[in-house]
Chains A and B, each alone.
Chain A
């Protein structure tokens, strides 16, 4: 599968990663190469095969649906780039 520049720009937007215009061509080449390589999987017939969605070799246990921590606001905020009055700060989202 060859990806063009526009598709790479679209994926980058979906992933919220800014890719400089000048890098799009090279990146399209790299990603296309990987996607072409994984196309070998088309050689395998998977008719009737269930997808493996979990690896668990042992049955996961249930736990009580209870509160196990809390009251650690300052710890949670300690690593934030910007906070005010006990809140995270982000650019304005509502006009």
Chain B
């Protein structure tokens, strides 16, 4: 049996039946992780730590005291602080930073028995849609176009996590999603990616990008696994006042439940001019699938969709410019000396930030500066109110919303790199969900004409991940997506 081909659900059953040991599962993934090195998905590998945790799992299994995620080898986006393990957000400015504390989400995973394989690559400070802006180079997508061996991007910013899960070099991974950074790479890599409702997971110990938009979530091989992972990751944390004090339901129970009678919104504004035909065909197929399962598609209007990206590119950089003020060469990370304190700050930040981060910090500084605050930042916040209102209005008439995840399949490394706005368009379908703070999932639904995965997105009401998972599982069942990437090193 190839242990790396199992889902969490199956691995859990196998471990409890004693078909194999947690040590064997961990060893299989450590081997796959090493074989996947050419993809540059992992920035740090922690095999010893994984084996040690696996030994503890085996001891628990022996006593029949299994934890919910016992023995599950997980990759962690390098935006989550991990105690004693270097955490850099793929930025030069955090080079060598070893957190003295553990993020709440990862601590929740370890408490539930999961084990860490390593830390995965991302766009610097999660600012990007292709995992190409990090200080340690791009991550490659394990997929290839049919008959074309050029390396493709895995999407971003959680591209290392997506590539690792797709290559079978991790059983599951954590990601973070500020404007689509879980869902878009999930779509590009043919896996499931779930962005929970804002406040569902604690942000404590996650390196901040845009605090009113950032949310952690799971990246997995199937919808059930996303539910199992979210169960362990979610919950109120007194150390993050924006993490919601609401009960965490049994997410796995939602998977497999009928969607008969549900009304599924189809936003007419998501039919973009110039959208590739194959994306439109995929979307229509999704609509047919939910209809066949007894749900009713209803046309809805999200009027401000086309303004969401511009709104996001004011709000996110504004928050980033404030959050990234802490990188000053004094308390952690890089210091580049200077004659005065200000010169030291300027030298450190000048050399420590890459081009995209610098661009966004400057935009953010500008839109918050005296004389421009009202025209840009305040205006964007008001439009954000209207965008959230659009969703609230739509939900009076439907239970969930179905859209494509991204306007294209994965593109080649090097494409879209000299035009920031072309890159930003990747997130046109995902950004509105973050602005409104809603849950959304990407499910692999088919292949493009040249053989690359394409995802469909299900958006839910606030704190209604259960309906999102229900609809996603129906799409998954209908799509029967079983293609594997060319470079699935874990299966080799």
A residues lining the B interface (CB < 8 Å): 3, 8, 11-20, 27, 30-31, 33-35, 37-38, 40-41, 43-44, 46, 49-61, 63, 72, 75-76, 78-82, 88, 90-91, 93
Pick the contact of B462 from A40, A57, A60 — CB < 8 Å?
A57
**Residues of chain B with a CB closer than 8 A to A72's CB:** 100
Contacts A52-B388, A91-B341 given; indicate if A14 touches B369 (C-beta within 8 A).
yes
Q: Is B482 part of the contact surface with A, judged by Cβ < 8 Å?
A: no
On whether the beta carbons of B338 and A91 are closer than 8 Å, the reply is yes
**Interface residue? B66 (CB, 8 A):** no
Which residue in A18, A34, A57, A58 is a CB contact (below 8 Å) of B346? A18
Known A41-B310, A41-B380; contact A16-B342, beta-carbon cutoff 8 A: yes
Which residues of B sit under 8 angstroms from A30, Cβ to Cβ? Answer: 359, 420
Chain A at the B interface: mostly helix, strand, loop or mixed? loop
Counting contact residues on chain B (CB < 8 A from A), the size range is 35 or more
A13 to B379, CA, bound (A): 25
> A51-B381, A88-B331 given as contacts; is B197 within 8 A of A57 (CB)?
yes
**CB within 8 A of A56: which of B96, B244, B332, B337?**
B244
Check if B365 sits within 8 Å of A41, measured CB to CB.
Answer: no
B22 within 8 A of A: no
With the chains together, A66 CA to B386 CA distance in Å? Answer: 38
- Residue contact A16 to B328, C-beta cutoff 8 Å: yes
B270 at interface by CB-CB < 8 Å: no
User: Cα distance A79–B213 when bound, in Å?
Assistant: 28
CA distance A78 to B332 in the complex (A): 8
How far does the alpha carbon of A21 sit from the alpha carbon of B229 in the complex, in Å? 49
Binds A, one of B49-57, B163-171, B277-285, B347-355: B347-355
Docked CA distance A41–B340 (Å): 41
The reply to whether the CB of B334 lies closer than 8 angstroms to some CB of chain A is: yes
Look across to chain B and name the residue whose beta carbon is closest to the beta carbon of A93: B341
Q: Is B7 an interface residue (CB 8 A)?
A: no
CB-CB under 8 A for A37 and B421, given A56-B244, A72-B100: yes
A78 engages B420 (CB within 8 Å):
no
* Contact (Cβ within 8 A) A58 B335: no
CB distance from A84 to the nearest CB of B (A): 13
Partner of B366, one of A31, A50, A56, A61: A31
**Contact (A55, B199) CB under 8 Å given A49-B386, A80-B331:** yes
Contact of A11 among B328, B349, B365 (CB under 8 A): B365
Measured between beta carbons, the chain B residues less than 8 angstroms from A18 are 346-347, 349-351
Structural contact, A80 and B330, CB atoms closer than 8 A: yes
Query: Across the interface, which residues of A come within 8 angstroms of B343, CB to CB?
Result: 91
A15 touches B386 (CB 8 A): no
Q: How far is the CB of B307 from chain A (nearest CB, A)?
A: 6
Nearest-neighbor residue (CB-CB) of A46 within chain B:
B382
10 residue pairs A–B, Cβ–Cβ below 8 Å: A15-B362, A18-B351, A31-B366, A56-B242, A61-B236, A63-B241, A72-B100, A75-B100, A91-B338, A91-B343
Given pairs A20-B350, A57-B244, A88-B331, 13 additional interface contacts (CB within 8 A) = A13-B346, A17-B361, A34-B359, A38-B313, A41-B314, A46-B386, A54-B242, A55-B213, A57-B462, A58-B244, A76-B331, A81-B333, A90-B341
Query: Which of B244, B314, B339, B349 is within 8 Å of A91, CB to CB?
Result: B339
Q: Are B421 and A34 in contact (CB under 8 A)?
A: yes
Quick check: is B245 within 8 A (CB to CB) of the other chain?
yes
B366 nearest in chain A by CB position = A11
Is B358 part of the binding interface, using a Cβ–Cβ cutoff of 8 Å?
A: yes
By the criterion CB–CB under 8 Å, are B369 and A11 in contact? yes
Contacts of A63 in B (CB 8 A): 238, 241
Q: Is B445 on the interface with A (CB-CB < 8 A)?
A: no
- Residue of A20, A76, A79 most packed against chain B (CB within 10 A): A79
B212 at the A/B interface (Cβ < 8 Å)? Answer: yes
Interface residues of B in 94-111 (CB under 8 A from A): 96-98, 100
Query: With a CB–CB cut-off of 8 A, which chain B residues contact A93?
Result: 340-341
State the CA gap A88–B341 with chains docked (Å): 13
Nearest 8 pairs between A and B by C-beta? Answer: A18-B350, A51-B381, A81-B335, A55-B437, A79-B332, A58-B244, A57-B462, A46-B382
